[in-house]
Amino acid sequence: MQPTWLARSPQGLKIVRMSRELALCHFSMIEVEPPELVTIAAESGFSHVSLMLQFPASAGSNFPMHGDTPMRRETHARLQDSGVRVIDASTCRLEPDTDVENFRPMIESGAVLGARQFNVNGADPDEGRLADRFAALAELGAEYGLVPSIEFMMISAVRTLAAALALIARSGASAAKITLDALHLQRSGGAPSDLAALPAGRISYAQLCDGPAEMPAERYGWEAGTQRLLPGEGVFPLQALVRALSPDMVIGVEAPSAARRAAGEPALAYARRMKASLDLLLAD
């Protein structure tokens, strides 16, 4: 892989050229506020960020990013100054009692910050109701020029790639996309070869991490949230996965690590290690 080239201008750090566009996923360092995440992404060589603009109700309060807040303005300014772009705004979690309208502030902020799509988790076991609410989200997103992107995972009601495709079909939201996370594909029994049958453009972007070949089912949530490995540190078929993706697709790294935080490794240092791991993977 060719290196990222950076140049300094009076406005700050500018991304000039990159052979494959790479994203720093916010979940990798969720303690970092959005403006600082943008700066870290620029300084470590990423072209994009995902931004966590909406936390599940059980996870506590959100960053003050809904509406014209000082933090949103600062995030926007840093995006403009650095050239970093927003690939994804997260997360709309569809529960049995969800009011889709409650996601309007998040989606509006995502649009202001230039997001391409917004991430959706399906947590409603009622397939019909979930499809209806996903369709309503698609309509809401369309008001702001954004599309929903469903992320399948084994700890949700949308557990597999096939289930994500089925949800999109049931909802009638034909423009909707799928967020592909390497961990969730691996742990759901999927494989890179499964991507060959997908309609062109159905995957919004890919989030990479690594891990051991096996993980007890009861440890899946723990692994996903706190114990992911960087690309190249485990045995996931990441090279095959990258080859199965469109060459112009943005590839992110999502690798939250409790061990990193316990060791006191700064977010910037970790971001640089994440970027280096992607560079090595993509060079092969």
Work out the mean pLDDT of the chain and round it to a whole number: 92
Q: What is the pLDDT of residues 80-98, one digit of tens each?
A: 999 999 999 999 999 999 9
Across the range 142-147, mean pLDDT stands at: 98
Task: Specify whether the CB–CB gap between 215 and 187 falls below 8 A.
Answer: yes
Q: What is the pLDDT of residues 219-231, one digit of tens each?
A: 999 999 999 999 9
In the prediction, which pLDDT does 58 show? 60
pTM: 0.91
Confidence of residue 56 (pLDDT cuts 50, 70, 90): confident
Across the range 190-200, mean pLDDT stands at: 94
Residue 16 pLDDT greater than 90, yes or no: no
In the prediction, which pLDDT does 61 show? 76
Residue 236: count other Cβ atoms within 10 Å of its Cβ: 23
What is the C-alpha to C-alpha distance for residues 94 and 282, in angstroms, rounded to an integer? 34
Q: Does the bond joining 91 to the residue before it have cis omega, within 30 degrees of 0?
A: yes
Residue 199 pLDDT greater than 60, yes or no: yes
Question: Could you tell me the residue ranges of all domains in the chain?
Answer: 5-283
Closest-CA residue to 157 (of 120, 122, 119): 122
User: The domain 5-283: what is its CATH number?
Assistant: 3.20.20.150
